[in-house]
Amino acid sequence: MKVTCRIDWSEKHHDVALVDADGTLVARRRITDDVAGWKALLELFSEHGDSPDKQIPVAIETGRGLLVACLRATGRAVYAINPLSVARHRERHSVARAKSDHADAMTLANILRVDAAHHRSLPADSELVQAIAVLARAQQDAVWNRQQLANQLRSLLREYFPAALKAFQVKGIGLTSREARAVLPAAPTPTQAATLTKARLRTVLRRCGRQRNLDAWAERLHTLFGEQSLRQLPMVEAAFGTQAKALLLQLEAACQAADDLAEAVGEAFHQHPDAAVITGFPGLADLTGARVLAEIGDDRDRFADARALKAYAGAAPITRASGKSTVVRHRKVKNQRLAAAGHVWAFASLKAAGPRAHYDHRRQAGDRHSSALRNTFNRMLGCLHHCLQTGRHYDESAAFGARLTAAA
């Protein structure tokens, strides 16, 4: 009798259902989300034939959390089933839209019983790559949070202090720069900014770490802050300034968090043996390479071939055909973090001759910039899969030999 398990998880307790090969309910139990609940789950497994060489597979609607980490540590196959798939499978057996925790547990157990071949179990990644994934995702979230706060600050400054926006609209300098985060707290309103002298501005810039062109920067800021401009009423302007200072405190913390996490990511990434292969590709440095490694992992059996990896990253197109209609579109269901890292990777790789020749070929064929960039990412991802599987390093002549010859 082959037994499969499904766990309907929640914050405080989990509903467990075990079914046999015929879909008959063998056991059900509600366990708590603590050590006692974990022991009860192991006892339930043991009662129904679980052993180290023949472990009961588990289906659950999430791939994270302490329960999932403990299940993966036992070495058993754990399937993270998409909730959308569960909903569609539920509709196969009932159209009444009835729902309960026990019914959901039964639904997932049956999905694993009949459709296990159509779902991937969680990868057997090493402890190091799991740690890299935690750090890389946290750093990516910090970067996104930093940009969101910068956008909020930009919208606020447009309401009452447009000169501040103009002051930091310089290539390589923005509201997240150290210069902006040092000057704006000292000059949160146009009135206060107009009182700053060149010497004071020079001191603020020097303290934030800037060493070059201090006099030119102080002269430019002093001129911009002293120009006549439209103003809010004095009390309203002061209120805007207080709000801006609060946003600047959050922005400073977000920038510091992103920098600290980036350093931690780099240290962990360099400890992994795949780091040398990954950073050998054009456009992949420590941070971007760590994000790519965090999402694809180091389980060599996770993806059957390069096409599976491309589909997972959203680089491969998807075809919808019905009758005489055939439409090819880009994928929307994908790993969003890997797709975001892939966009940065593909754009940065255009400095190399091979990716640039491939990108130009796609543009000449009629692709728009985003489509050509996604196609370049698709090609680079296939090369990365091959190099990781074989242990070889990136060779531009082997990857883009035909494109380089055509371009020449």
Q: Which residue has the higher pLDDT, 322 or 335?
A: 335
101 vs 32 pLDDT, higher one: 32
Secondary structure element (H or E) that encloses residue 6, with its range: strand 4-9
- Quote the pLDDT of residue 101: 60
Please tell me the predicted confidence (pLDDT) of residue 61. 84
Instruction: Please give the Cα distance from 105 to 218 (Å, whole number).
Output: 66
Residue 1 has pLDDT above 60, yes or no: no
Q: How many residues are given for the chain? A: 408
Taking 80 as the threshold, does the pLDDT of residue 261 lie above it? yes
| Contact present, 179 and 208 (Cβ < 8 Å) | yes
Q: Residue 112's pLDDT is what? A: 76
Assess contact for 400 and 357: CB atoms under 8 A: yes
Select the highest-mean-pLDDT range: 17-31, 126-140, 326-340: 126-140
SS3 25: strand
Q: Which residue has the higher pLDDT, 90 or 220?
A: 220
Beta strands in 238-396, from DSSP E residues, in sequence order: 318-322, 325-329
Asked if 382 and 306 touch (Cβ cutoff 8 Å), the reply is: yes
**Tens of pLDDT, residues 54-86:** 899 998 888 888 999 999 998 889 998 887 777
Alpha-carbon 108 to chain mean position: 27
Which letter, b or e, does each residue of 294-307 get, where b requires 16 or more Cβ atoms within 10 Å of its Cβ?
Answer: bbbbbeeebbeebe
> Does position 181 have pLDDT exceeding 60, yes or no?
yes
pLDDT on residue 402: 80
Output the pLDDT for position 360. 94
Which has the closest alpha carbon to 271: 148, 135, 370, 372? 135
Could you tell me what percent of the chain has a pLDDT over 90?
64
pLDDT for res 25: 84
What pLDDT score does 102 carry? Answer: 63
Average pLDDT over residues 371-387: 95
Secondary structure of residue 193 in the 3-state scheme = helix
What is the pLDDT confidence band of residue 203, given thresholds at 50, 70 and 90? very high
Please state the rounded mean pLDDT for residues 313-338: 87
Q: What is the mean pLDDT of residues 195-210?
A: 92
Q: What is the pLDDT of residue 324?
A: 83
Q: Is residue 350 over pLDDT 90?
A: yes
Element (H, E) at 385: helix 369-390
Say whether pLDDT at 95 is over 70.
no
Residue among 369, 398, 375, 373 nearest 280 (CA): 398
The residues that bridge with 30 in the sheet, in sequence order, are 15
pLDDT band per the 50, 70, 90 thresholds, residue 194: very high
Single out the residue of 97, 105, 82, 90 nearest to residue 25, CA to CA: 105
pTM beyond cutoff 0.75: yes
> How much is the average pLDDT of 271-293?
95
Using 50, 70 and 90 to split pLDDT, how confident is the model at 97?
A: low
The helix, strand and coil proportions of the chain, stated in percent and rounded to the nearest 5, come to 60, 10, 30
> For all residues of the chain together, what is the average pLDDT?
90
**pLDDT for the residue 141:** 96
What pLDDT digit, counting tens, does each position of 21-60 carry?
887 888 889 999 899 999 999 999 999 888 888 899 998 8
Which range among 1-5, 33-37, 55-59, 92-96 shows the weakest confidence by mean pLDDT?
A: 92-96
Per-residue confidence (pLDDT) for residue 110, from 0 to 100:
73
pLDDT at site 98? 63
Range with the poorest average pLDDT among 2-16, 333-347, 352-366: 2-16
Lowest mean pLDDT among 49-63, 82-96, 194-208, 326-340: 82-96
| pLDDT at residue 103 in the model | 66
